[in-house]
Structure 1
Amino acid sequence: MLNQNISEEAIMEVVKKVLGDLELTEEMQADTPLAGDESLTDIAMIPEEEICLVENPRNKEALMRLKRSTPARTATGRTGDREKTIITIRKMANLSAAVDAVWTPLNREFVSSLGYPVLKSMPQSKEEYLMRPDLGVILDNENMNLVRTQLQKNPDVQLIIGEGQSNQGLEKSMPELLPALLQGLQSNKINYGTPCFVEYTRVGIGDLIGQEVGAKVVCVILGERPGLLSWDGLGCYITYAPKVGILESKRTCVSNIQDNGGTPPAEAGAYIADLIARILKEGKSGVDLII
């Protein structure tokens, strides 16, 4: 039985203590971070040149200079006989980005903004394009008619743009590359006819189109096959006297056009224009052209 002699003041004191403990508990819970409350660092976005996982390097400054000289994975360290977890996770993230670059759908608005005739090679889907490279160098009758009716005949160079295997690279770099390229061609007084865009592009499609329009040179610019360190690069393939069946060794290639450790797009555009001028002057490309 409760003690009848407990004073009202004592009861109020107990109540205050209990309420105080409850308030303290709520404050502690509010200050305690819960799982998912804090944002995590995206380790895939950490620049490679900032990662040095070698324990106790003898000359870290020299090691960091080496890392800044290349986008390759260096100084990754080891844990026993395996690579460190962060390196494995970064590789997985970069692989995912490369896969996304291949499968990202073509941006129709971007293609329309170019204002060029749009052709399509024979593949009927992205899957078929990847599995059947031979179909990417062929046009059906409808598209061949577009070549004959919409592209200028006998230009000095026929420009062909395509998504290749990286739409991301095309959208990212072409807005800077194309103006520099066209300006360079104009400065060299080179007739570039009617540029066109080809969906499901393979480099060899330029041989067919260049031969059909009678171009002296064909220049195909397309998204490069993504890798673990670069998934938004462009490649440019220039061929003198294009014709169906020409050897791959007859092409001059400008690769790794991108801002992250490659040739910047605007610089590449100007360089490609000068390269086309030289190919036209010397009448050769590929292994026959000494650069």
Structure 2
Amino acid sequence: MSCSKLKLLFTTWLALLFSSVLFASAPINIVTVTTDFASIAKSVGGDFVRVESFVKGSRDLHGIRPKPSMVLKLRKADLLIRLGMDQDSWVEGLIQTARKEEFFEGGIGYLDASVGIEKLEVPSMDIDGRQGDVHKEGNPHYWLAPSNGILIGRKIMEKLIVMDPKNAEVYKQNFLLFQKDLNSKVLVWKELLLPYKDYSFITYHKTWPYFFEEFGLSGLGQLESLPGIPPTTKHLHNLKLGIKKEEKPVVLLMANYYNQAVGRSFSNRIGARLVVVPINASHTTETSYFDLFDAIVKEIINND
């Protein structure tokens, strides 16, 4: 074999080797609706994924307006992880604009994290605007129960295994570690919140049913007269009367994007403690799903 042919074969072999290394090392690009799902996806995917979110920090998802930058993120992505339950309905427009078949429901790159979650507060009757902003599929704040965080992590693991079967064992081990660490933290959080089982919790919006159920806490009512409808004088008066009948210490727990002046005024009127917390990861110093619950629990127990 001539020297020129040997060089050609060697060059071809190097090119094939280099391209295979590039292919093997290319991460799966994931885009999620919020940073909570991004944190879980990173825990499961590890070095084999690159993760971004449409929304950063603690935000009212009803008020999100799609941006061109979100479309660009979606076009570069391989996997879209949705919150679902109509809480992120604005994502539909992004999917249509991005025009990638894999992101339509049922596609290889589509994951609705709410599928399989045991939903709370699913309406038993027909709903319309007279009931306020009621979600027909139930309360959508399911990520605020760590047990649902584990279910989300499992779904992400299963999806990544389908998309990248050669690294299946890595995804399985990463998920098991995530599950173990989160279960250990739940035991700590439950111990810290144990004294608050004797409290009544008032909230601004119906944000906390999953959190209350997970940690055995009691919700007494909301400042909103109806879901998504601002508090009225009549409603707050009736709520105050109901609180007096309970004869328990009261905590007013509210997400940090709601009107804190209203919360402060009402908590002063009823002698309650006001606790303002993020409900999504990556708000100020909270950078992960674990950190989110650390922050919530810390604020509840540090306000005595």
Is the pair's TM-score, using the shorter chain for normalization, greater than 0.5? no
Q: TM-score under structure 1 normalisation?
A: 0.32
Higher helix share: 2
The alignment's TM-score, normalised by the length of structure 2, stands at 0.31
Structure (1 or 2) with the larger CA radius of gyration: 1
